[in-house]
Amino acid sequence: MPATNSNKGALLEPDFIARLERLEIVSRKIFHGKMRGERRSKRRGESVEFADYRNYVIGDDLRFLDWNIYARLERLFVKLFLEEEDLHVNLLVDISGSMDIGKPLKSRYAMQIAAALAYIGLSNNDRVSVYAFADGLNYELSGLRGKRMIAKVFDFLGNVECGGVSNLSRACKQYAMRHAQAGILLVLSDFFDKGGYESGLRMLLGRKFDIYCIQVLAPEEIDPQLTGELRLTDVEDDDIAEVSISRALINRYKHNLQAYCAELQSFCTRRGMTYALANTQVPFDQIVMGYLRRRGLLK
Amino acid sequence: MTFLSGWGPIALAAGLTVPPLVALYFLKLRRQPLKVSSTLLWKRAVEDLQVNAPFQRIKNNLLLWLQLLVLLLAAFALGKPVIDAKESQKDSLILLIDQSASMEVEEEGGMSRLQIAKDQAKTEIDNLADGARAMVIGFSDRATIASSFETDKNVLKRRIDEIAATESVTTLSEAVTLAEAYMQNQVIGGETPGQDPTAQGLTGPVRVAILSDGNIADATKLTVKRLPTDDMQVISVGERSDNVAILSMDARRNYERPAMLEVFAMVRNFGPDPVTCDATLYINDENVDVQTMVLQPGLRAADAEVDADSSGIAPEDGTADTSAGGRSIMSAGPPIGSVASVAFDEVEYEGGGVVEVRLNVPDALAADNVAWTIVQPPRSVSVLLVAAGDVFLERALDALSVDVEQMTPAAFENASDDDLTEAGRSKWDVVIFENYSTKRLPPGNYIFMGGVPDIEGVSSGKTISNEILFNWDESHPILRYVAVDNIQVFQWSELTLPTDAEKLIEGETSPVLAYLARDGRQYLICAFGIIAEDEITGQPMLNTDWVIKPHFPVFLSNAIQYLAGSLSPTGMRNIRPGEPIQFPVLEGTQEIAVRRPDGESDHIQAAGFANVNYARTRRVGVYTAKPGIEGRDRFAVNLYSAGESDIAPRQKLTLSGKQLTASGEVQRVNKPVWPWILLAAIAVLALEWAVYSKRVFV
């Protein structure tokens, strides 16, 4: 049953928002931005921070010649300054049916993380884009800049309807085709995609994003407390699995889940992505304030 | 295990019931619906478990397995499974169990043949159909009914357990007669009034099982009249054949030196291996002498084969007919070296007592390893000859080592009681009357030659002449070593005797020599005198040529010694196990206690009897009566039976001309097991319910 998050109360508490203001998103890579921002760019530009010298070649802007050196050495050198650019923070939130499970709902948990990161990004004048995807990019809110835009983000996330079959591959493809601008990309999903997550994540790699995969799992999924003869229905595609719960089966399931997560982590690590597992039982602010900081996404 | 109904019904039942159950199992499962984020991992987990178990779902459900088990057990029971299928039992079973001496042989495993036979008999009882009846007869020298027709299996088994071993020879005829008689009685006893008893007879089939080692002495002579020989089964018991036996033993005093004893024994090895053993002589339980002997094998491998093919049991006297397939070893005599005589000469012993020869050999049968005989102390016997003058008798008595006094008949009649008696008995051990009858007979022992004692039931009649001596008991001690067929008698008187008189020699129409015991007196009555009156001339004449034969003094000696009770063991008749012993009773004795070889005593009422007969002599050994007349108060019972000592079990037995092949053991018959299987099914059903109630999930 698709549900919106609008009636679940505010995504972020004011106290928490205040704590978020002190944080900023750190990229391990230096990206080219479109606009001047508050972070250093790889490009040499017009900021006040000196970076280097180089020999003058015809056509260089004469304003940047270092006349003092010319006076001493009678040779022309051009001063190079670091350019400051804005950072693209992209948040991909999974809103497929499988995220609409658990207490708290996995989708809400993911959106809270997304909202927090969006707020941090907007606070630091980063360019923040939020996408919700299920079998494709279903919702999009892009190009936000400036703290005042946070209300839009909250509105956006509050009005997203969960449901549908998860298709990470297609969503990533659509996203990668539309956005060539490198930046930080957070994928918040349970990665339970029967089509596989590999091809989707591989497509993102081509764009040289600094990718963070946050796998959101509910405790019911990590340690299911089931007994008896059950008819399990997949909320996404209504696929039926009839199981007779036994200790062996539970053990096997846990083993498979562990292997699945380990495989995802291994996939990410090998490709320079950062993987994190978020158990919805752990309050999301701990994830943001603690875990993501430790992993270097925030400082 | 086999199935009376075959596999068909089982397969059909299982095929019809098992698949629906499995189908129902899947249908009846009400699975709880539950929404999960993804079935991806669940399916994978189920698949993982199913990799090793194609029927994972079934495997993990105990309930289904229990129900399947119930169904299969029920289907199994439908096939009417039975253990060791054979045709079902007859309505009536007669079990003849050999309890002779050879059944005491201890087989491998420590069980005696009798015990094995009893176990087999109990198996037969177990095999009986419900409601079928059985009869148990134990047989040795005579047959005893352990149980008449009975349907209660427990009672029958108890009766079988009560069958005890004897040390007698084996004869089957009495058992067969008994069984036949009981079959008839059963018919008469069980008849319904107003209906023809013949039609109600043992219409149901009767089966006879003989449990024996096959050493049946009278098997070939036996005639089976009513028992169905077709349904007769011989179950052979035992395997051992190693046995050494004393077949005869004798002790006699040296004629010239009565203080010297000579003991002879004949020993034979029946086993397949040579045997070296010691024969020890004991007198009154004191070890006197030991001799070692070597015996060659009595049963060679070739003999064993012949034996297996032979028709059965060789008679004890070794006169089997080879042409009839008899045992060659018997007809040709035992193999050379397998028989040895052991002689203990010059044993100085003046007293009386028990002489025992014992073989120290660890063979299969112990009863024939020892032989006993009773010897009496040598003493001189006093004899009174009451005759008108007979030189032949006088000479014959002179030749014997007895003290002889003579008296004429007139002097005897005129003598005072004190002259004739001493302490209420005759002064002489034996009084011999010739041609004289009298009623003056104080308690004592009397020989009448040509006269009769004037007592009730005994009389002398007309003179018989021109007849021959027709029949005689040469085994009787009095006639031992007496060649009766060599005697000529011209005439004798017709004798009328009581029925309990022992007739030793008989003519064509009348007894000639008889022994009679009456009121503390013993009489040996001879119907003729040595001297008789010639009918024509009236002159005395020699009535018989016996007096000039060398065995006449032997006869006189035997008779005097027998009557005087001092007969040497040579003349004593050997008593076989089971034969009755006659103990003379001392006057005034109320009860005689007979002590058996096993130490127990039997008490016999003796008041008013001159002799008591004791018949519980089925064990070998010495039987002693107290109080008893010295010299006649102890008897030795010995097996002395080549047939019993030859313990090798026979494989074939001929009864009434029908050859029966022995089988090793009782064939088991159908024992239905389906009730047990159904019981198991119910138990499993109960367990299934318990499991279901507890909601056990594995």
Q: Are residues A138 and A42 in the same domain?
A: no
CB spacing of B36 vs A243 below 8 angstroms = no
- Report if residue A43 sits inside a domain: yes
Q: Are residues A169 and A69 in the same domain?
A: no
The interface residues of chain A toward chain B in range 102-131, judged by CB-CB distance below 8 A, are: 102, 106
Tell whether A231 lies on the interface with B, counting CB pairs under 8 A: yes
Q: Are residues A19 and A143 in the same domain?
A: yes
SS3 content of chain A, % helix, strand, coil (to 5): 35, 30, 35
Distance CA A235, CA A107 (A): 14
> A266 to chain B, minimum CA–CA distance in Å?
18
Which residue(s) pair with B353 in the sheet?
Answer: B375
> B684 to chain A, minimum CA–CA distance in Å?
23
Distance CA B490, CA A98 (A): 140
Of A101, A102, A241, the CB nearest to B42: A241
> B23 to chain A, minimum CA–CA distance in Å?
16
Confidence at residue B358, expressed as pLDDT on a 0 to 100 scale: 92
Tell whether B7 lies on the interface with A, counting CB pairs under 8 A: no
Using the 8-state DSSP alphabet, how is residue A291 labeled?
Answer: I
Query: Which residue of A lies nearest to B39 if distances are taken between CA atoms?
Result: A234
Q: Are residues A191 and A141 in the same domain?
A: yes
Query: Which residue of A lies nearest to B61 if distances are taken between CA atoms?
Result: A244
Dihedral of the alpha carbons of B43, B46, B51, B53, in degrees to the nearest 10: -150
Q: Are residues A189 and A103 in the same domain?
A: yes
Confidence at residue B320, expressed as pLDDT on a 0 to 100 scale: 36
More confident residue, B67 or A141: A141
> A6 to chain B, minimum CA–CA distance in Å?
22
Of A106, A221, A252, the CB nearest to B45: A252
Which residue(s) pair with A219 in the sheet?
Answer: none
Count of residues in chain A: 299
Spell B298-333 as b/e; 16+ CB within 10 A means b. bbeeebeeebeebbbbbbbebebeeeebbbbbbbee
- Report if residue A42 sits inside a domain: yes
Number of domains in chain A: 2
> B26 to chain A, minimum CA–CA distance in Å?
11
SS3 content of chain B, % helix, strand, coil (to 5): 30, 30, 40
Tell whether B536 lies on the interface with A, counting CB pairs under 8 A: no
Percent residues over pLDDT 90 in chain B: 9
Tell whether B31 lies on the interface with A, counting CB pairs under 8 A: yes
Tell whether B38 lies on the interface with A, counting CB pairs under 8 A: yes
For A273, other C-beta atoms within 10 Å of its C-beta total 20
Q: Considering only CB atoms, which chain B residues are within 8 Å of A221?
A: 36-37
Dihedral of the alpha carbons of B671, B673, B676, B678, in degrees to the nearest 10: -140
Tell whether B694 lies on the interface with A, counting CB pairs under 8 A: no
> Which residues of chain B fall below pLDDT 50?
188-192, 195-202, 301-331, 566-571, 696-698
CB spacing of B39 vs A98 below 8 angstroms = no
Confidence at residue B305, expressed as pLDDT on a 0 to 100 scale: 43
Mean pLDDT over A131-160 rounds to 88
CA angle A269–A275–A280, rounded 5-degree value: 160
Tell whether B698 lies on the interface with A, counting CB pairs under 8 A: yes
Measuring CA to CA, which residue among A272, A281, A166, A140 is closest to residue A213? Answer: A272
The CATH number given to B92-239+652-669 is 3.40.50.410
Query: Which residue of B lies nearest to A192 if distances are taken between CA atoms?
Result: B38
Q: Are residues A52 and A133 in the same domain?
A: no
Tell whether B336 lies on the interface with A, counting CB pairs under 8 A: no
Q: Are residues A16 and A152 in the same domain?
A: yes
> A244 to chain B, minimum CA–CA distance in Å?
7
Of A22, A54, A85, the residue at which a domain comes to its end is: A85
Of B32, B42, B57, the CB nearest to A253: B42
Confidence at residue B357, expressed as pLDDT on a 0 to 100 scale: 92
Interface with chain A: mutation pick from B38, B58, B59, B694, highest number of A CBs within 10 Å: B38
Q: Are residues A66 and A203 in the same domain?
A: no
Q: Are residues A164 and A286 in the same domain?
A: yes
Query: Where do we find the tokens 């050994």?
Result: B621
The interface residues of chain B toward chain A in range 402-461, judged by CB-CB distance below 8 A, are: none
Tell whether A249 lies on the interface with B, counting CB pairs under 8 A: yes
> B689 to chain A, minimum CA–CA distance in Å?
18
Give the residue extent of every domain in chain B: 2-30+38-83+674-694, 92-239+652-669, 244-305+325-366, 381-565, 581-637
Q: Which CATH superfamily, name and number, covers B244-305+325-366?
A: Immunoglobulins (2.60.40.10)
The interface residues of chain A toward chain B in range 134-193, judged by CB-CB distance below 8 A, are: 190, 192
- Report if residue A103 sits inside a domain: yes
Distance CA B520, CA B608 (A): 10
Confidence at residue B568, expressed as pLDDT on a 0 to 100 scale: 41
CB spacing of B60 vs A244 below 8 angstroms = yes
> A186 to chain B, minimum CA–CA distance in Å?
21
ipTM of model: 0.79
Element (H, E) at B185: helix B173-189
- Report if residue A75 sits inside a domain: yes
Query: Which residue of B lies nearest to A227 if distances are taken between CA atoms?
Result: B697
Of B30, B35, B697, the CB nearest to A246: B697
Rounded to a whole number of angstroms, the distance between the first and last alpha carbons of chain A is 38
Indicate the SS3 state at residue A283. Answer: coil
A53 and A66 Cβ atoms separated by less than 8 Å: yes
Confidence at residue B212, expressed as pLDDT on a 0 to 100 scale: 87
Look up residue B311 and give its two tokens.
Answer: 């028709």
CB spacing of B37 vs A106 below 8 angstroms = yes
CB spacing of B46 vs A249 below 8 angstroms = yes
Confidence at residue B329, expressed as pLDDT on a 0 to 100 scale: 38
Tell whether B48 lies on the interface with A, counting CB pairs under 8 A: yes
* Per-residue pLDDT band at A188 (split at 50, 70, 90): very high
Of A102, A239, A243, the CB nearest to B46: A243
Tell whether A233 lies on the interface with B, counting CB pairs under 8 A: yes
- Report if residue A118 sits inside a domain: yes
Q: Considering only CB atoms, which chain B residues are within 8 Å of A226?
A: 34
Q: Which residues span the domain enclosing A66?
A: 36-85
CB spacing of A192 vs B40 below 8 angstroms = yes
Q: Could you tell me how many CB contacts below 8 A there are between chain A and chain B?
A: 93
CATH at A155: 3.40.50.410
B96 and B114 Cβ atoms separated by less than 8 Å: no
Look up residue B468 and give its two tokens.
Answer: 């021959």
Confidence at residue B315, expressed as pLDDT on a 0 to 100 scale: 40
Q: Are residues A23 and A50 in the same domain?
A: no
- Report if residue A108 sits inside a domain: yes
CB spacing of A231 vs B38 below 8 angstroms = no
Confidence at residue A31, expressed as pLDDT on a 0 to 100 scale: 53
Tell me, yes or no, if the two domains B244-305+325-366 and B381-565 fold the same way: no
> What topology does CATH give the domain B381-565?
Rossmann fold (3.40.50)
Using the 8-state DSSP alphabet, how is residue B577 labeled?
Answer: T
Q: Are residues A109 and A124 in the same domain?
A: yes
Q: Are residues A206 and A285 in the same domain?
A: yes
Confidence at residue B327, expressed as pLDDT on a 0 to 100 scale: 40
Estimate to the nearest angstrom the gap between the alpha carbon of B176 and the chain centroid: 14
For helices B391-399 and B551-564, give the axis angle rounded to 10 degrees.
70
Confidence at residue B386, expressed as pLDDT on a 0 to 100 scale: 92
Of B34, B38, B60, the CB nearest to A98: B38
- Report if residue A246 sits inside a domain: no
- Report if residue A138 sits inside a domain: yes
Q: Is the pLDDT of residue A79 over 50?
A: yes
Confidence at residue B384, expressed as pLDDT on a 0 to 100 scale: 93
Confidence at residue B308, expressed as pLDDT on a 0 to 100 scale: 39
